[in-house]
Structures are given as C-alpha cells and as structure tokens.
Amino acid sequence: MDLPVDEWKSYIFQKWSLLPKSIQDTISTADTLKDIFLHSSSLLQPEDETFLKSLASGYLVGKDPNAPPFYREEGNKKFQKKDYVGATVLYSKGISHARPHTADISLCYANRSAALFYMDEYEMCLKDITRAQMHGYPESLQPKVTLRKVECLVTLGRLQEAGQTIRDLESNFAAKPTVAAAQFQILQRNLCRLKMKVQERERLTATFPTTLTKIFEDMDLREVNEQIPCASSSVSLCMDPLRGRYLIATEDILPGELLLKEDAFVSVLNPGERPPLHQGLANKWDTRVTNGDLYCHRCLTHTLAMVPCDGCSYAKYCSHECMQQAWGLYHNRECPLGGLLLTLGIFCHVALRATLLARFEGASKVIRKLSSEISNKDMCSPESETPLRSDLGGESEENGNIVQTPVPGCDVNGKYENNYNAVFHLLPHTEHHSPEYKFLCALSVSALCRQLEAADSSKPDAAAPPILCSELSTWGVAMLKHMLQLQCNAQAITTIQQTGSEENNVTNSRQVRLATGIFPVVSLLNHSCSPNTSMSFVSTVATVRASEKIAKGQEILHCYGPHHSRMAVAERQQKLRAQYFFDCSCPVCQKEKHRATVGPRWEAFCCGRCGALLQGGDVLSCGGTSCMESVSRDHLISRVQDLQRQVGGAQKLLGNGQLEQAIQLLLGCRHDAENFLSPEHSVVGEMEDALAQAYAALGDWQKSAAHLQKSLQVVEAQHGPSSVEMGHELFKLAQLFFNGFAIPEALNTIERAEKVLLVHYGPCSDEIQELQKMKSCLLDSPPI
Ligand SMILES: [Zn+2]
Ligand SMILES: [Zn+2]
Ligand SMILES: [Zn+2]
Ligand SMILES: [Zn+2]
C-alpha cells in the first residue's frame, strides 16, 4: 500500500541483485541523493517501463461505458432490499464510469437521489436531482424526480421554492396537453399533503430544545504562536543534538488543551486494499466498498453523494468545488496516471503530489538551490555526526540570498510554518535506508517522471506549461527525498468508523486509516511509548491535545504507533528501530526493560488451582505462597490461541444473527478462561464485549450492560482510565443504558464518557455531540 506492489518490488530487487558489484557500490556509496537518483535512473530500461505499464494496466481507473448499466442494476437490487447505503455506493460507482451528458450518468444520479431521499438526506438528494437534470434526464421521467424535489423542499421547510417548482411543473404540463388531467390531480394532492407536513414540522421545531445545538464552543488555540502559527502559545520549538527538533511546554498545560491544529501540507487518500482485477469478465466490475467510494479524494470528507472526475473513474469528490480545486492543484497531472500511481504505492503518490503542490510556492527555485547547494553536505545526511534524530543547520532562500537560519525549516525570522520549505527539511535518513530500497524508490520516481514527461509532450497545452521536462532530474531528486522522508514522517490520517448494526443500536467503533499525509509541524513531535498527547482528525486537519497534565518545560510527546498498552517492550523497540532508526528510552521502556519476566496484566496467566498470578519465563510457577503449581508457557499460549479462535467463531455467529449459539459458545469460553487467564486479560475483554453485543441484539439491556462493564475493566487495565479506548467503551455503555432507559446509570456513564472523550476529541466532535443529545433527551423525558 505505502510501497510499490510486490511484483514491481521483486522485479527491481532482482534487477539490483544482477547489477555488477561496481555499479552497486557506486550507488551505495553515493554522497548525495542527486547522485543516487542520476545513477539509478540511468539504469531504467524501456523493458522495465513496459513491465511497469503492464502492472498498471490491471487497475480499472478509466471510464468504462459498459459499467454504468451494470452498477445501476446492482444498485437497484440493493434498493429493493431497502439497503439504501449499499445502493448509493453502487450508483456512485456507475456515475464514476459514465461520460458526462449521457443517459447513463443522469439515470444513475436520479436513482441515487431516490436512495438519498429514503435516508432523509434531502440536501444531497436535491443536488443529485439537479445533476440528473443537468446531464439530460429524459423528459418523460421528469415529473417523478420533480415530485421528489418538491418533497425534499417541503421537508426542508423551503415552501416557496416548493410552490414554484409545482407551478413550473404545472405550466410544463399545460404546454403539453398530451398529459392526462389525472396527473394534475395527483400533483395537487401531493402538494396539499406536503403543505400539511411542513406545518407539522414547524410546530415540532418550535418545541425542540435548543440545548441540542452546540453547548459550548471549542476551546481554540490559547493565543497565536508567533514562532509556529498553527501551535498554541504554550509550546515552543527547541533543538539540541540529541533530540533534534522538538516541542516543549512553555507553561503548565491541562488535559484536553489544544496544542496543535495543522492542515496537512499534502495528503493522499488510501484507496483501500484493492488488487488489480484482471480475472475474467465475470467480476470485472468491483462491487466492494472501498475508502474511495466513501471519502472525498481531496478533503477526505465522508459523503454518499460523490461527484467523479470527468476524466477518470478513481478520483471522486464530495462536491464540484473540491473536484475543481483538486484539478487545479494536482489532479490535472495525476488524472491519466491512476494505474501507475496505484502500482507505485502511496509514498510515491504523496511524493509526486508534494512536488506538484510546491509549484504554487514558487518552490522550483527553492528546490534547485537547496538540492544543488545543500547536496554536498546537509541534504543527504545532516545527522551524520550525531546518530540520533537531529538536524542541525539549514538554509533558506530570501530575496535570492541564502541565509543561515538556526533551525532547519524555519524562515529568516525563525518562523516555522506548514509550507514546502518545512517539508523539504524533514529528514530523509538517507544513510539508514538499504541500497536496494533507495534503488527501488529512485527507479519508481524515475519511471513516474518519464510518464509525466510523456503525458506532457502528448498534449501540447499552452495553458499548462510542462513543469517537469526542463528540470526533470531536479524534481526527481525532490520526489526521491520525499519518498525517503515518508518512512519516518508519514502521518496516517485516521477516522473512527462505526460498525454497529441497525437493530441493536450499540455502535462499535474502530479506527481506520483513511489517508497518508505530511504535517511538518506534527512531525516536530518526538516519540514516547506513553505519550502525553492525543491526536485526532477532521477532514485533513490534525488536532493534537494534551492527554494529561504537562508541566512547564516538559517535552510534548506523541506515539508513533508502538504504544505500551498494545505492545511489549521488545516488540516496540524492534519496530521503532526498523522504521524510525532509534532506540526508545522513554520512561516506560526503561522501566519495562528491567522487569522482563512479569508481563502486563492484560497478558497475564493465573494459577488453575489457587487463582494467583503465574510468573516466570518458559516455565511459569504460581505466585501463591502455599501452591507449587507450575506450567509451561507454550502450553498456556496454545490455550489462549484456541480461545481466540473460538471467540472469532462466536463473532461470526453474531454477525449472522445466530445469537443464542454465539452466547453459548462465549459462555463456554469464559468458563475456560477463568481457569487460567487473569480477569483483566485482553481475550477475556473480547469475550465480555461480544457477550454484551449479543445481549444487546436480544434487547436484554441489563445483561448486556453487566458484560460491558466487565469489558470496561479490561480496557481500563490495559489502556488506562482516561484513554481514548476507555472513552469509546464508556460511550457504548452509555448507549446501552440509554436504550434500556436506565436513566441514572445512563446519565452517570454519559458524564464519564464525556469527560474522557473531551480530552481527546474536543467539544465539537461527533461523539460529544451524540452524548449531549442523549443527555438532553433523558433530562427532558418524564419521570417514570
Ligand atoms: Zn471534498
Ligand atoms: Zn481524473
Ligand atoms: Zn518507549
Ligand atoms: Zn496456585
């Protein structure tokens, strides 16, 4: 996904292994990225490009005129089953393959408007009706969509427009006397019905409690930070040889305080795991739902009413405006390269887009200067004297002069901003990457450059002058640098996806990766396995909040992934070394290194005889004073794995609605677990969670809540009482009490959930809004 597809990777690695030793040495020992790039790209042969093109052609990224009728048909099937979300996605797929101003595209838009209507998405429905009409919706079908339009307008309270639309329709009919008079009457009757509906609506909204609207405003950044415009004034940028650049608190910071709010300099939607579909015709058109079907290609907003690019089927947007912006900024170059970009992976795509965006900062000059003048020393390995993430000294261009600035990435005034200069100064760690990896990146970038060049020369377009031809190697070097930077500096943009089923009203949430981006300010944060911040995203904007009290002078830390509650110390160290090239010495790591034999509670085993914790290495013995029990670790691990398999089976049963069977299986598992797992073992948590889900689906709120509370204990032990995981679990429990109408318990749990989630997401998040709604609903309800 991040890297090129396996076929291209192994092809290039083999090419590398067959290179004469002397050439390998030249590339391995090259001093600068420029040399690595030039040497490597001179080895890219036409047959390599042909092979790459054959891989890229496996992706269906162009418009296929035969696809829309297929997707519309599939969508209609879902529509009939009342699966409106599923239908919408399939109609969107049809739209993305249809050419503008064809019957296909207008029919798909019209059908999608119907599905949106049934989901009460009236604004979106109206937009789709307009789109259907714009693309030439058949005259004979107009009354149908027009009635839908009126219904939307009425529901939205836009009565005047509704009336006008009806009058237009009437006069349209009057001009065509062929239409039966009975049609009028139906229309009139509908209008009457709709008018009554709106009156009722007005009455309802008048009594609707205003407390549902935003209760308090988001705490914003305390004050503008002069040095880093998207940071709070309570943080400051520092640098030392050991830690490199880092941020510290300049005053005491409270939990939940907003520290950074940064829009990605560049981000690329992760299209979802989607292997090329070159199997037979039968499944040529993919009906699976991917990120690309649900999130805007540019701004990552979730939407069901996608608008596709006119030139390809893979770029879909939340609105026409987003589409136009993306086109002007980068998609005009990327549009014909969809298959190639999917083949070369997200890092390569981010690298390309970063350089395309850099054009707007006049970065061509900056890149040229920086690459040529810095290349001898800093650009390749500024940290060669100091092994850890440091980056001393940098230059920045000001009025054509190179000026020394104290901290790399800052301008002459010492200001560090979210711009290309800052991106360019992120460390590529050139000397840490293997020669094969650098060769792979260089050849991928080089092949991409040649395709861009070919696309440029094939359409002599005066409006978009070729940007890459003249300075191909300069841009190639910049892209190579970005690709190497990304291993350490790529930030996953995530979102919380709700996976609850409609019936049981309890949502399970899981974090999914939406996109990969570069955030130069967030990149200043160093890692800790037990960080003092929490990060969340809205659209492409990252928000970093303090997750605990941070005292003045303390470093602001963020976890790069290996969190102590999810991974043992050895695994974390290994991960951080492999990906980020450093040894973690955070307090948790130091503490855990010294007590290797006792694992955390959520991985602990208990004595089957007396219940005390078992301790030891390969052979575990009972910690109870009068108990001599001992057992091999391997045996216990295989028992845990067996339980995990069974829990997985129970979750499948749950998914299929076989609730009783699932419950029987889970109760059996829990009985087994009691004999050898600590009550706070993570697998016990999974069982309790699944049991809670099963009882919720049966409508037994009390039993469900009892099990969820046990799962809550496990989450608390593993992730801590104020962790985001705890917040999500409390949220679920609140929903359960709410659904069961257990008012005091619900209010109490809502309050606990709010307290935790506020710290991580702030008051404007969906989760907090939802909790507020539940609370006011409960407070308004009459006492029983
Ligand atoms: Zn958008
Ligand atoms: Zn396109
Ligand atoms: Zn650590
Ligand atoms: Zn014992």
Q: What pTM value is reported for the model?
A: 0.83
Ligand of minimum distance to the alpha carbon of 625 = 4
**If you measure from the C-alpha of residue 718 to the centroid of ligand 4, how many angstroms do you get, rounded to a whole number?**
24
Q: Contact 223/233 with Cβ under 8 angstroms?
A: yes
**If you measure from the C-alpha of residue 607 to the centroid of ligand 4, how many angstroms do you get, rounded to a whole number?**
4
Q: What is the pLDDT of residues 736-783, one digit of tens each?
A: 888 888 889 999 999 999 999 998 888 888 888 889 888 888 887 655
> Could you tell me which residues are beta bridge partners of residue 395?
404
**If you measure from the C-alpha of residue 319 to the centroid of ligand 1, how many angstroms do you get, rounded to a whole number?**
6
N residues, the chain: 784
Q: What is the pLDDT of residues 153-168, one digit of tens each?
A: 888 878 788 878 877 8
Closest CA to 496 of 215, 760, 268: 760
**If you measure from the C-alpha of residue 214 to the centroid of ligand 1, how many angstroms do you get, rounded to a whole number?**
24
pLDDT, mean of residues 359-384: 53
- How far is it, in rounded angstroms, from Cα 678 to Cα 603? 8
Residue 374 has pLDDT above 50, yes or no: no
Q: Contact 636/676 with Cβ under 8 angstroms?
A: yes
Q: Report the SS3 class of residue 278.
A: coil
Sheet strands (E) in 640-779: none
Tell me the residues surrounding ligand 1 (ion) with CB < 5 Å. 296, 298-299, 301, 318, 322
**If you measure from the C-alpha of residue 36 to the centroid of ligand 3, how many angstroms do you get, rounded to a whole number?**
33
Residues contacting 534, CB < 8 A, separation 6+: 544, 545, 546, 547, 724, 759, 760
Tell me the residues surrounding ligand 2 (ion) with CB < 5 Å. 309, 311-312, 315, 335
Ligand of minimum distance to the alpha carbon of 307 = 1
- How far is it, in rounded angstroms, from Cα 314 to Cα 317? 10
Q: Report the SS3 class of residue 751.
A: helix
Ligand of minimum distance to the alpha carbon of 575 = 3
**If you measure from the C-alpha of residue 410 to the centroid of ligand 2, how many angstroms do you get, rounded to a whole number?**
35
**If you measure from the C-alpha of residue 561 to the centroid of ligand 3, how many angstroms do you get, rounded to a whole number?**
11
* pLDDT the model gives residue 158: 84
**If you measure from the C-alpha of residue 618 to the centroid of ligand 4, how many angstroms do you get, rounded to a whole number?**
17
Residue 375 has pLDDT above 60, yes or no: no
The pair of structure tokens assigned to 673 is 């677990």
Ligand of minimum distance to the alpha carbon of 335 = 2
* pLDDT the model gives residue 25: 94
Separation of CA 221 from chain center: 24
**If you measure from the C-alpha of residue 316 to the centroid of ligand 1, how many angstroms do you get, rounded to a whole number?**
9
**If you measure from the C-alpha of residue 640 to the centroid of ligand 4, how many angstroms do you get, rounded to a whole number?**
19
Q: Report the SS3 class of residue 135.
A: coil
Residue 398 has pLDDT above 50, yes or no: no
**If you measure from the C-alpha of residue 630 to the centroid of ligand 4, how many angstroms do you get, rounded to a whole number?**
8
- Please work out, in degrees rounded to the nearest 5, the angle formed at the alpha carbon of residue 302 by the alpha carbons of 297 and 303: 90
Dihedral, 557, 295, 309, 336 alpha carbons, nearest 10: 50
Residue 352 has pLDDT above 70, yes or no: yes
Q: Contact 467/347 with Cβ under 8 angstroms?
A: no
Q: Contact 436/16 with Cβ under 8 angstroms?
A: yes
Sheet strands (E) in 295-341: 307-308, 316-317
Ligand of minimum distance to the alpha carbon of 62 = 2
Fill in the amino acid letter for 738: F
Helices (H), 459-586: 472-489, 569-580
**If you measure from the C-alpha of residue 306 to the centroid of ligand 1, how many angstroms do you get, rounded to a whole number?**
9
**If you measure from the C-alpha of residue 326 to the centroid of ligand 1, how many angstroms do you get, rounded to a whole number?**
9
* Strand ranges across the sheet with 630-632: 614-616, 619-622, 630-632
Q: What is the pLDDT of residues 70-128, one digit of tens each?
A: 999 999 999 999 999 999 999 999 999 999 999 999 999 999 999 999 998 999 999 99
Fill in the amino acid letter for 149: K
Q: Contact 663/707 with Cβ under 8 angstroms?
A: no
Which DSSP helix (H) or strand (E) runs through 647? helix 633-655
**If you measure from the C-alpha of residue 543 to the centroid of ligand 1, how many angstroms do you get, rounded to a whole number?**
19
**If you measure from the C-alpha of residue 31 to the centroid of ligand 2, how many angstroms do you get, rounded to a whole number?**
38
**If you measure from the C-alpha of residue 271 to the centroid of ligand 1, how many angstroms do you get, rounded to a whole number?**
15
Closest CA to 595 of 575, 611, 616, 621: 616
Ligand of minimum distance to the alpha carbon of 539 = 1
Higher confidence at residue 598 or residue 140? Answer: 140
